[in-house]
Amino acid sequence: MSANLKSGLLTLLVLASVTGCDGESSYDVTAAGSTNHSGFDFQTGSLPMPKEPNDNPASEEKFQLGRHLFYDKRLSGNQTFACESCHQQALAFTDGLAVPTGSTGEVLHRNSQTLTNVAYNASYTWANPVLHTIEQQLVIPLFGEFPVEMGINDANRDEILQRFEQDPRYQTLFNQAFPNEQQPVTLPNIIKALAVFNRALISKESDFDQGTMSSAALRGQALFNSEKMECFHCHSGFNFSDSTLHADTVFVSRPFFNTGLYNLDEQGSYPAQDNGLYTVTQNAADKGKFRPPTLRNLAYTAPYMHDGSIATLSEVLDFYAAGGRHIESGFYQGDGRLNPNKSEFVNGFTLSPQEKQDVLAFLGALNDEAFVRNPRYANPFLPEDNQ
């Protein structure tokens, strides 16, 4: 990893150590309100415009370059892995695994998050309060060493850039995306293009969006928004996550919650390889706290939770109905229902069989088949030259 990139990551870690996070919700009064200044068509439908960084306005040319890079294994150090390896369109840009394996065979600790409406995330990764843009987040999978994902480092970075510099298709794509640069094939520009592609992955055609929900789904929506279930406290708004940001947001909420998934030592600990927000803040009260993800496209994104440890949506509802998870034996033994850091909103509830089916119907109404089939987001390479 280059000195500049290492310095940037170190800065993020230092910021994390001094950033206040109360674990339930942190509100930042920021200059978040802005309009779409690039003029790029994000095709948002009725959804709000995503917020764009001032130093990376979107363009169709950047989008198309980012789309190619996203699906190209030549971007990984050993040419065996692409962004798409963990983020497959047919699975709403997830991989169907509990946790993924990186390009070198190293097993990662967290479930691959959906890229559905990733433009609207107020923070990135499962539990980092200081990653506020896609551009910042991309440093982790591209250059991260613990664990290795794409595997770009000081030893191979020049070779990786040459792969694209010597490809006529990419010569055109980079020149079109960055027309004012004499040498546009750079790692910062790769990050910018990938970020634009990710930012444009907008899901907006579910039954919920189109006002075509069934009677069962409408009943489920009422339950979802009731004090009985408390779901709406963490999964509210158009993107069904309290950690949401768009171009006109003024007050930015970046909450993290402990749902009682584990309680290994009766003091709130989660498995050592991933203690959530605590890993960044070193505040014991932050053990097991994670960002609330969007609930859109859940039909495609199993298994669930930050570690993929719950297989089905029905089981997820059972978990919340119990007020947490009680693991009676084994390495992860502990009663998550008694986790001292557990959110006040995870108290358990009782549903009749019909009510449970109604809630599942509502969650199903947030699925968007057009999104997972949209050719605009698909692999641009023909089968014979697919990287």
Sort residue 151 into left (φ over 0), alpha (ψ -120 to 50) or beta. Answer: left
Residue 86 assigned to a binding site? yes
88, β-bridge pairs: 94
H-helix or E-strand containing 28? strand 27-29
- Single-letter residue type at 49: M
Distance CA 249, CA 53 (A): 14
Q: Between the CA of residue 158 and those of 65, 75, 137, 163, 185, what are the distances in Å?
A: 19, 11, 22, 9, 10
Of how many residues is the chain composed?
Answer: 387
Sequence-separated (6 or more) residues with CB below 8 Å from residue 367: 206, 207, 296, 297, 298, 299, 300
335, β-bridge pairs: 326
Residue 231 assigned to a binding site? yes
H-helix or E-strand containing 335? strand 334-335
Residue 234 assigned to a binding site? yes
Contact (CB, 8 A) for 376 and 63: no
Distance CA 81, CA 58 (A): 26
Feature table: binding site for heme c: 83, 86-87, 231, 234-235
Feature table: binding site: 83, 86-87, 231, 234-235
